[in-house]
Structure 1
Amino acid sequence: MSELRIDASVPGLDEDTAGLAEAAEAAGFDGIWAPEMDFDAFLPLPVVAEHTTDIELGTRIATAFARSPMVLALQGWDLQRYSDGRFVLGLGTQVKGHNERRFSVDFEWERPGPRLREVVESIKHIWDVFEGEADEFDYDGEFYQFSLLPEAFDPGPLDSGQPDIWVAGVNEYNLKMAGGTADGLCMHIFNTPEYTEEVIEPTVRAGAEKMGKSMDEVTLSASPFVITGDADRRAARREEVRGRIAFYGSTRTYHDVFELHGWDDIGPELHELSKEGQWGEMQRLVTDEMVEAFAVEAPPEELADEIRETYGGIADRVQLEFDPTEPFWEDVVGAL
């Protein structure tokens, strides 16, 4: 593992985006990422690029299937150019319900893992053509085919070269693909250091080695729950985290994390309660031991040591929920 790098998240595009980006860079963060929540993941990033000089920026993550790989390739190329080579394209599948009912994208028959692999492969092929490193524009996959690129629509090479592509992954296929086909993995927040060390890292490594790559070429980016602040704030935040563990833990896809820790029964119980809308009861099932396993908790003056002790050696980067109104972040990041 390389030296641990610390990243921040941007909540969206509004009048505070520029100030947040400037504050994150001033505090010493290495990167700033935009998720796809109630705003487009790409739209805040030109503002971030314009108001910073060194910090990396990217999507973490943008939904892959709601956009053509050509659209993603052009957006990534434009942002790489505009940021002078600081952009990272983070992509994920999203779940079936969101693809079909929020984005109106066919999903069930698509086999999302292989389809995401083709998204990454085809974008890299498109970028190779832009760079002049491919003789023909001729990607021919199961889900995507590209064969027409008139000269007027080819933006040409960049001095900074191609961006990296990171993918979100939970299952074995996507974890291996993150190491073998992509350039990095965006780990889900519903994760523990033990699961990272015992399941995620070895699986990503296997994918990398299959493609003749070393782990030095693959970025592992963690995004743990963080509990910090004064005693009252930590107590309140602990309950927020308990609720989010209950929410994510009700999804069967994530039950492997519980099972690694010996909590085999909790996932199915949470799933059944979620179908009944019993959110309060779900939260009560999440014990203090579970919160401790999933979250990094410490007062601000001890947080840097806790992050380093927990994720140093098993991740390359850690994303934190940055609040510029909290005065301690510069000291925390500086200590890392």
Structure 2
Amino acid sequence: MEIHTTLIQDDLGKVSGEIRRIEAAGYNGVMTQENRHDPFLPLAVAAVNSERVTLGTGVAIAFPRSPMVLANTCWDLQQASAGRFVLGIGPQVKGHNERRFSVPWTPPAPRMKEYIHALRAIWACWKNGGTELDFEGKHYQFSLMTPNFTPEPMAYAPPPVTMAAVGPAMLRVAGEVADGVRLHAFCTRKYIENVILPQLETGLARGERHREDLQISGGGFLVTGANDEEVATSLEFYRSRVAFYGSTRAYWPVLEQHDLLDLGEKLNHLAREGKWQEMPALISDDILQLFGAIGRHDEIVAEIQTQFGGLADVIADSASYDMPGSLPADLIRDIQSLTTPWAGFKR
């Protein structure tokens, strides 16, 4: 199993020191998010100040960017990192696309599938040197690539493409065409087994692929600390996150698996009234246990196996760049000793 953490994004001047610390600790990789800051700039700094860890976006928003623009950014990051970059993309929701990014909205699943195909067509053109670019889709068309705009040759394979997926259609697309799927943290083992995996398997069958070809990341929280006090402090942060996500109707299918729809309705009512501070009290410790692996450092490996074993190939110990990963090296190695179905990215 791989263990990743988040990379600082609010101060590029601190990235070089932070990526060296993370790499020395033994983490497999880092990820950035597209919230307050650009997700790619910190990875560029990290690429030239590290040697081993994978560098990924978890996730960058796809549709506001032309596949050509994104392909160019990823090519440069893959070159700078000596082949360690992993692209993670997601669609975001309709309101953000239309009102925050001012881009038109169309059904996201078929568009994401085409987007990934377009990226790979562009990279194939550059990688094969002189191959004509001729991609014709419903949303994207690319038919012009001259030497002046073709990047220099690269010794590494184009980066793997992973994608965020929540709903059934996006999960099927991930299984069919992506190198990996990034699951939402608001998941339980039962939900993954009963809902997510069947959709991924349908997609894998369509793509004539197998489970070992698809990296599954996330699908729950990791709540740990050196002692009970640290665990309790961390637990309160995740209690508020579960309450926040549980108030959103789009995530209620997770609650439905546990006969907790009434909880979702109560949380939604409080959210609409702006009573955010009252919401975490509705999340009991038993409910929290459904959504993550919880325990001290000396307990957490067994909890990770119980919560994620056989399901996730990658987990993360941080939900935000302002919560830097701080797991001790020996614990990181113990987590990495857990076996997973994924066989690695094909190069």
TM-score normalised to structure 1 length = 0.92
**Residue 270 of structure 2 is aligned to residue 291 of structure 1:** no
Residue 331 of structure 1 is matched in structure 2 by 330
- State the superposition RMSD in angstroms: 1.9
Letter in 2 for 1:293: L
Residues 106 and 325 from structure 1, CA distance in 2 versus in 1: closer, same or farther, beyond 3 angstroms? closer
Q: Find the residue that maps to 1:265 and give its secondary structure.
A: helix
Classify 1:93/1:294 alpha carbon distance in 2 versus 1 (closer, same or farther; 3 Å): same
Separation (CA, whole Å) in 2 of partners of 1:305 and 1:97: 40
Query: Which of 247, 251, 255 is equivalent to 1:250?
Result: 247
Aligned to 2:228: 231
2:149 alignment partner, one of 150, 153, 170: 153
Q: Aligned partners of 1:133 and 1:267: how far apart in 2? A: 54
Partner residue in 1 for 2:74:
76
Q: How do 1:248-287 and structure 2 match up within 5 A?
A: 248-287=245-284
Quote the sequence identity (%): 39
Q: Does 1:120 align with 2:116?
A: yes
TM, length-normalised to structure 2 = 0.90
Structure 1 pair 250/74, CA: closer, same or farther in 2 (3 Å)?
Answer: same
Task: Name the structure 2 match of 1:304.
Answer: 301
Give the match's secondary structure for 1:114.
Answer: helix
State whether residues 124 and 131 of structure 2, in contact with CA within 8 Å, keep that contact through their aligned partners in structure 1: no
Tell me if 1:193 matches 2:192: no
Q: Which residue of 2 aligns with 1:40?
A: 38
The structural deviation recorded for 1:191 is 1.1
Tell me the equivalent position of 2:211: 215
SS of alignment partner, residue 315 of structure 2: strand
User: How big is each residue's C-alpha offset from its partner over 1:58-81, in whole Å with a ceiling of 9 and x where there is no partner?
Assistant: 101000012111111111111111
1:324 CA displacement: 5.7
1:21 aligned residue: 19
1:63-111, Cα deviation, whole Å (9 max, x unpaired)? 001211111111111111110100101000112222222222222xx11
Contact 1:131/1:156, CA 8 A, preserved across alignment: no
- The Cα offsets for residues 214-252 of structure 1, whole Å up to 9 and x where unpaired, read as 122111011532222222222222221111111111221
Amino acid corresponding to residue 79 of structure 1 in structure 2: L
Q: Find the partner of 1:103 among 85, 101, 104.
A: 101
Aligned residues: 330
Structure 2 alignment gaps of length 5 or more: 336-347
8 Å CA contact 1:125–1:134 kept in 2: the answer is no
- Of residues 167, 173, 197 in structure 2, which corresponds to 1:171? 167
8 Å contact 1:132–1:156 — kept in the other structure? no
For 2:279 and 2:41, how far apart are their aligned partners in 1? 35
Matched with 1:319 is 316
The question of whether the paired residues in 2 share the 8 Å contact of 1:23 and 1:324 is answered with no
**Matched position secondary structure for 1:277:** coil
Following the alignment from structure 1 to structure 2, what is the Cα–Cα distance between the partners of residues 82 and 19?
18
Partner of 1:53: 51
- Structure 1 counterpart of 2:342: none
How many angstroms apart in 1 are the aligned matches of 2:282 and 2:54?
39
Deviation at 1:38, TM superposition (A): 1.1
Separation in structure 2 between the aligned mates of residue 94 and residue 111 of structure 1, nearest angstrom = 12
* DSSP-derived class of the 1:298 partner: strand
Counterpart among 133, 137, 141 of residue 133 in structure 2: 137
User: 1:304–1:333: 8 Å Cα contact kept in structure 2?
Assistant: no
How far, CA to CA, are the matches of 1:301 and 1:91 in structure 2? 35
Deviations 1:276-304 (Å, cap 9, x if unpaired)? 21213322222222111112111122223
Unpaired segments ≥5 residues, structure 1: none
**Runs of 4 or more consecutive aligned structure 1 residues displaced over 4 Å after TM superposition:** 322-326
> 1: CA distance between counterparts of 2:302 and 2:208?
35
Once the 2 structures are TM-superposed, how far is the Cα of residue 136 of structure 1 from its aligned partner?
A: 3.1
CA distance in 2, matches of 1:226, 1:219: 18
| 1:57 maps to amino acid | L
Counterpart contact for 1:219–1:316, Cα < 8 Å: yes
Cα deviation for residue 133 of structure 1 reads: 8.1
Distance 1:311 1:104 in 2: 38
